[in-house]
Structure 1
Amino acid sequence: MGKYVFKSLLQIIPVLFIVSLIVFVLVRVTGDPVALMLPETATAEDRAVLTQALGLDQPLYTQYVKFLGNAIQGDFGQSFRYGQPALELVLERLPASFELAAAAMFFAVLMAVPLGVISAVKRNTFTDLLISGISVIGKAMPNFWMGIMLILLFSVMLGVLPVSGRGGLSHLILPAFTLGVGLAAQMTRLIRSSMLEILNQDYIRTARSKGLGRLTVIVRHAFRNGLIPVVTIMSLQFTSLIGGTLITETVFSWPGLGQLLVVAVNTHDMAIVQAAVFVIALIVVLVNILTDVSYRLLDPRIKYD
């Protein structure tokens, strides 16, 4: 396992190199940053001076080599919109995104695990149909609509939770629940399918034939082996939450990385786009490694050569 983790960590280098190259090229072929940074009254001389200052008058390969050298040192340039180092801005927003993603995942697991297991155990009963129906409704509801409805109910009508912003636990409940509902709906269906497959395995029937209690069979034998696909979807969803919760962040004015990245794309703030994508790519790779390690912990039969 240690050798596998070490090899996986080494693979981070070529992955980040490829990501940086793709982002660098795409950012520069999608528009002229000089035109966005200068006012309409700027002269051709102003454009030439700024172009030279940014190094945009050099060939692309020269710009990339310089960018890569600076990136290795943690320097992705200055944000012309905020006037601060791009990586500093990204890292400032990252804790808020982690906080929201972790809370949303907590709500999702808290709802999905018992519902998915009960739905599988009570297969083709009214309980199963009810849980399946709730899952479909939860998945079908758009995040922005859910967020607005929660604000109207708990903030406007009842006045028990804040409308927006990031502060204490009370500020986190509504946006986390908004994101968690959709995740819970998806995970519930996945847990149900996984549990149904596990419950029909020979070793489960053997455990029952030995006289083990139903709860023991479900919790100690079936549930643990049924967690592997759930861990996979959790890792995928968590990484997408880090950089892709724009709608929820906008509805609740949550100062996360997703909102910063979209604003940077719209204003063609190259430094922030490059820094944010680079950081998100690193997070994705690390989460994937942790997911592979968790497979081994859940199922000792899995071996990594």
Structure 2
Amino acid sequence: MAAFVFKRLAEMIPVLFIISFIVFALVFVAGNPVALMLPEDASQEDIDQLTASLGLDQPFLVQYGKYLLNLVQGDFGESFRYNTSALPLVLERLPATLELAVAALVLAVAMAIPLGVWSATKQHSPVDLLAAGGSVIGKAMPNFWLGIMLILIFSVMLGWFPVSGRGTLGHLVLPAMTLATGIAAEITRLLRSSMIEILNQDYIRTARSKGIREGMVVYKHAFRNSLIPLVTIVALQTSTVVGGTLITETVFSWPGLGQLLIQAVHTRDMAIVQACVFVIAILVIFMNLVADVLYRLLDPRIKYE
């Protein structure tokens, strides 16, 4: 297990290298951000002088080489908007994003597990049709539209929850619900398919023929063996959660990475953009590693060579 974890950590290095190259190339193609750093009445001479002082007039490979050299030292540059180092600012916003992401995942799993199990055990029943219809609707609704609707209903009309911000449990409810809805719909659909396949296995029929209670058959035998696909689904949804926070945090003014990244893109604050994308990439890769480790804990038959 330790050798496998070490190997996966080593594999992160080339992946992060490729991500850094893609992000830097996209930032390079986006154009020179110097015009946004200077007043509107700045002369072309001032623009050229600042461009040269920042090294933005050098060839792409030269700029990327300097970027990599700084990157290995944890230096993503300085944000011209906030006038401070980019990485500490990004890490300062990270706990808010993690709070929202974890709350959304927990809420999604809490909704999806009972719906998926009930739907699989009661095929073609009203419960199954309701769960299937809800999954389609939940998956189809865009995050920004759902967030606005939740604000209109539960904040503006009913006054139950705050409209925006962070600080209390009430501030967390609507953003987490917005993120969790689409994820729960996906997990419900895939968990239902997995449960139906497992319930048709021979060992399930054997357990039923022995007179074991249906609840024990479903939850101890069938559901337990569907945990590996469930872990896979949740791990794959990590990237969906992180991507969803970009819009959700903007809608609810949640002070996390998503809101910071959107603002940085609008202002062409490239140091913040690069630091945000890099941190998000590490989060997604780490969650995939956690999922692989959980496979071994859930099923000892799985061996890592």
Q: TM-score, normalised by structure 2?
A: 0.94
Q: CA deviation at 1:86?
A: 0.9
C-alpha distance in 2 between matches for 1:100 and 1:276:
16
Query: What does residue 31 of structure 1 align with?
Result: 31
C-alpha distance in 2 between matches for 1:225 and 1:54:
57
| CA distance 1:244–1:145, change in 2 (3 Å) | closer
Task: Write out per-residue CA displacement over residues 134-165 of structure 1, whole angstroms, 9 at most, x where no aligned residue.
Answer: 22222233323322232233222332211111
Answer whether contact 2:143 2:244 (CA < 8 A) is retained.
Answer: no
C-alpha distance in 2 between matches for 1:182 and 1:18:
30
Query: What does residue 95 of structure 1 align with?
Result: 95
Spell out structure 1 runs of 4+ moving beyond 4 A.
none
1:290 matched to 2:302? The reply is no
Query: What does residue 133 of structure 2 align with?
Result: 133
**Residue identity matched to 1:189:** R
Query: What does residue 144 of structure 2 align with?
Result: 144
Task: Write out per-residue CA displacement over residues 58-104 of structure 1, whole angstroms, 9 at most, x where no aligned residue.
Answer: 33222222211211111100111221211112112211111111111
**Residue identity matched to 2:153:** L
Task: Write out per-residue CA displacement over residues 173-207 of structure 1, whole angstroms, 9 at most, x where no aligned residue.
Answer: 11111111121111111110110011111222222
Answer whether contact 2:107 2:176 (CA < 8 A) is retained.
Answer: yes
SS in 1 for 2:84: coil
Answer whether contact 2:120 2:196 (CA < 8 A) is retained.
Answer: yes
Answer whether contact 1:165 1:171 (CA < 8 A) is retained.
Answer: yes
**Residue identity matched to 1:22:** I
Query: What does residue 65 of structure 2 align with?
Result: 65
Query: What does residue 259 of structure 1 align with?
Result: 259
**Residue identity matched to 1:256:** G
Query: What does residue 215 of structure 1 align with?
Result: 215
Q: CA deviation at 1:292?
A: 0.8
Q: CA deviation at 1:129?
A: 1.3
C-alpha distance in 1 between matches for 2:262 and 2:201:
47
**Residue identity matched to 1:240:** T
Answer whether contact 1:97 1:241 (CA < 8 A) is retained.
Answer: no
Q: CA deviation at 1:210?
A: 2.9
C-alpha distance in 1 between matches for 2:128 and 2:262:
40
Query: What does residue 197 of structure 2 align with?
Result: 197
**Residue identity matched to 2:29:** V
C-alpha distance in 2 between matches for 1:255 and 1:236:
24
1:1-305, aligned counterparts within 5 Å?
1-305=1-305
Q: TM-score, normalised by structure 1?
A: 0.94
**Residue identity matched to 1:223:** F
SS in 1 for 2:78: coil
**Residue identity matched to 2:87:** L
C-alpha distance in 1 between matches for 2:152 and 2:278:
37
C-alpha distance in 2 between matches for 1:21 and 1:141:
33
| CA distance 1:2–1:26, change in 2 (3 Å) | same
Structure 2's unaligned 5+ residue stretches are: none
**Residue identity matched to 1:201:** Q
C-alpha distance in 2 between matches for 1:263 and 1:155:
25
The percent identity for this pair of structures is 68
C-alpha distance in 1 between matches for 2:239 and 2:15:
16
**Residue identity matched to 2:71:** A
C-alpha distance in 2 between matches for 1:143 and 1:243:
10
| CA distance 1:244–1:130, change in 2 (3 Å) | closer
**Residue identity matched to 1:245:** T
